[in-house]
């Protein structure tokens, strides 16, 4: 099994480099015979895409001259590394994401609305806690909607709330 690690940060000790290093270390423990291919885009010289490269890349592979093969050698190596292992699995995951897009979108929308309500509830508790500690702190009286404990919502968030509040109300009425 192979793992392709790609680092791109210009900073040698960036957070992303630290995260990829931790991931590689964990992966190696779980895959002791696995091979790690490391590519550092900040330090690796990558040739520019030129007219020669474009012409060679769009030519019949069987008719390439030695110079054209040399022009494509770096990009061919990188493409092979990227797609050498697990292409079928990658395609299957991507197809599943596409086929489940509506369910994923719905799940994310419901989660966002649920999290907004949780934040609003936290606002209620915060208001009460501050009032207990500082009795002069004014507390709202009466019944308030959960939205009143949040800053103004963007148009997109308002649409999400409307969509999933209506869906919840319709489900409750069934």
Per domain, the residue ranges of the chain are: 2-95, 101-173
Specify the pTM.
Answer: 0.46
CB-CB neighbours of 113 under 10 Å:
19
CA distance 158 to 162: 6
Decide yes or no: CATH 3.30.390.50 for domain 2-95.
no
Residue 85 is predicted with a pLDDT of: 61
Residue with tokens 């103004």: 152
Residue 164 is predicted with a pLDDT of: 87
Residue 129 is predicted with a pLDDT of: 92
Cβ–Cβ under 8 Å, residues 37 and 7:
no
Find all residues with CB under 8 Å of 1, minimum gap 6, and list them.
31, 33, 34, 35, 85
**What averages of pLDDT result for each successive group of 10 residues across the chain (174 residues)?**
86 88 91 89 87 94 94 88 69 81 89 92 89 90 82 92 80 66
CA distance 82 to 7: 14
């Amino acid at each position: 099994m192979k793992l392709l690690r790609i680092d791109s940060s210009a900073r040698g000790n960036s957070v992303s480099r630290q995260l990829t290093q931790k991931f590689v270390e964990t992966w190696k423990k779980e895959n002791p015979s696995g091979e790690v291919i490391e590519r550092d885009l900040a330090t690796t010289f990558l040739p520019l895409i030129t007219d020669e490269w474009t012409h060679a890349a769009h030519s019949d592979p069987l008719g390439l001259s030695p110079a054209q093969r040399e022009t494509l050698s770096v990009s061919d190596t990188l493409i092979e590394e990227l797609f050498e292992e697990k292409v079928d699995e990658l395609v299957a995951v991507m197809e599943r994401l596409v086929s489940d897009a509506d369910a994923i979108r719905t799940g994310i929308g419901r989660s966002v609305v649920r999290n907004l309500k949780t934040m609003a509830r936290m606002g209620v508790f915060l208001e009460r806690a501050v009032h207990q500690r500082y009795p002069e702190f004014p507390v709202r009286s009466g019944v308030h909607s959960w939205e009143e404990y949040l800053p103004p919502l963007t148009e997109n968030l308002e649409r999400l709330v409307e969509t999933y509040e209506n869906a919840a109300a319709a489900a409750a009425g069934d």
